[in-house]
């Protein structure tokens, strides 16, 4: 379950980071990028292969057995990487009022990736026993009965609602802080575009776009690393303050982060959809391993959190 509601950057009344001209240009480019992405996704839904497969409600919902290893890996990776990665992990680690420090960084990193592998392992068994399952609640009905299915369904919807509100909150905050526009502009834009292309192409098209998202994100990571190397070449850093070291609050995150992240992943429908869509056991298991490893190491440990420490120590924020 996402913990980004705890970060302190949600105050949209802060001053805009960019000058007016850069803010206007950036806003236009971002909106055009959103619209272009939506058009590309809709175009995918009219491809011959997509039209051929999207003939049943079951396939529209699950994209069952359609994704090879690398598409599956990209899907596992991108379904857990949202706008909150820009604020949540780094703020969780460096905020003195939280004080989780380097231990919190490692725990956040580990439990952002490992539960994906666990879900895939269990999903492999579920696929064999309930081959026509369309959600984790379907498995709950098969294994425990109708009452448990209803409970799991409400739990899934609760987690989905929290994550959705969380993601839209961060998107609105980013646009407000960088471009000075109303947070409703990106929220409505993203919401409409996502609903439209998902309505046209179902989960199959959504997963097809995951690979392109992954490539763009990894390119962003590469550029960020190059910028960090250039910016901090020859810079001497003072010793880290105590709250960034090994702290009691950091060790407590094994429970306060490990448990909710694991539970949120196990009852997150987006992750189970990747179990149904994998075309083989190999794609499912290795795809989750690759996606989880990249999500764990690239985003939470070595890039956004660890390099975020350098940014703070270098006086860039």
Write the pLDDT tens digit of every residue in 41-86: 888 888 767 777 777 888 888 889 988 999 899 999 888 777 777 7
Neighbours of 272 (CB within 10 A): 26
pLDDT in tens, 125-134: 899 888 888 8
- What's the pLDDT at 221? 78
Alpha carbons 241 and 245: distance in angstroms, whole number: 7
**Coil, strand or helix at 162:** helix
What mean pLDDT do residues 159-166 have?
88
Q: E strands of the chain, at which residues?
A: none
Q: 67 - beta bridge partners?
A: 278
pLDDT digits over 207-235, tens only?
A: 888 888 888 888 887 887 787 777 777 76
Contact between residue 101 and residue 245 where contact means Cβ atoms under 8 Å apart: yes
Quote the longest CA-to-CA distance of the chain: 63
| pTM for the whole structure | 0.80
Instruction: Determine contact, residues 221/295, Cβ cutoff 8 Å.
Output: no
Tell me the domain boundaries of the chain: 56-176+202-313
For the segment 232-288, what is each residue's pLDDT rounded down to a tens digit? Answer: 777 676 677 787 788 888 899 899 888 988 998 999 888 999 999 999 999 999 999
- What are the C-alpha distances in Å from 280 to residues 29, 69, 113, 208? 39, 8, 21, 17
- Residue 10's closest CA among 63, 79, 100, 87? 87
């Amino acid at each position: 379950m996402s913990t980004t509601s705890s970060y302190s950057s949600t105050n949209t009344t802060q001053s805009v980071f960019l000058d007016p001209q850069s803010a206007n240009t950036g806003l236009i480019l971002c909106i055009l990028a959103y619209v272009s992405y939506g058009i590309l996704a809709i175009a995918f839904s009219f491809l011959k292969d997509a039209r051929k497969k999207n003939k049943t409600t079951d396939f529209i919902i699950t994209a069952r057995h359609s994704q090879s290893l690398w598409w599956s890996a990209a899907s596992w990776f991108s379904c857990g990487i949202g706008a909150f990665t820009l604020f949540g992990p780094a703020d969780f680690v460096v905020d003195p009022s939280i004080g989780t420090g380097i231990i919190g960084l490692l725990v956040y990193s580990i439990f952002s990736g490992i539960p994906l592998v666990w879900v895939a392992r269990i999903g492999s068994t579920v696929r064999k026993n309930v081959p026509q399952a369309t959600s984790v609640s379907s498995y709950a009905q098969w294994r425990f009965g109708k009452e448990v299915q209803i409970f799991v369904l409400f739990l899934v919807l609760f987690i989905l609602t929290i994550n959705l509100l969380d993601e839209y909150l961060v998107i609105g905050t980013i646009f407000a802080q960088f471009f000075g526009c109303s947070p409703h502009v990106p929220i409505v834009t993203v919401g409409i575009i996502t609903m439209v292309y998902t309505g046209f192409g179902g989960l199959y098209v959504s997963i097809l776009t995951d690979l392109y998202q992954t490539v763009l994100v990894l390119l962003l990571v590469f550029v960020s690393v190059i910028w960090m190397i250039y910016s901090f070449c020859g810079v001497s850093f003072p010793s880290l303050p105590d709250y960034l070291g090994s702290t009691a609050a950091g060790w407590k995150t094994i429970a306060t982060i490990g448990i909710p992240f694991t539970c949120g992943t196990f009852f997150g429908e987006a992750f189970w959809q990747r179990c149904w869509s994998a075309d083989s056991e190999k794609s499912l298991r290795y795809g989750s391993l690759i996606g989880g490893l990249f999500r764990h190491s690239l985003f939470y440990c070595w890039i956004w959190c660890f390099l975020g420490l350098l940014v703070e120590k270098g006086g860039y924020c």
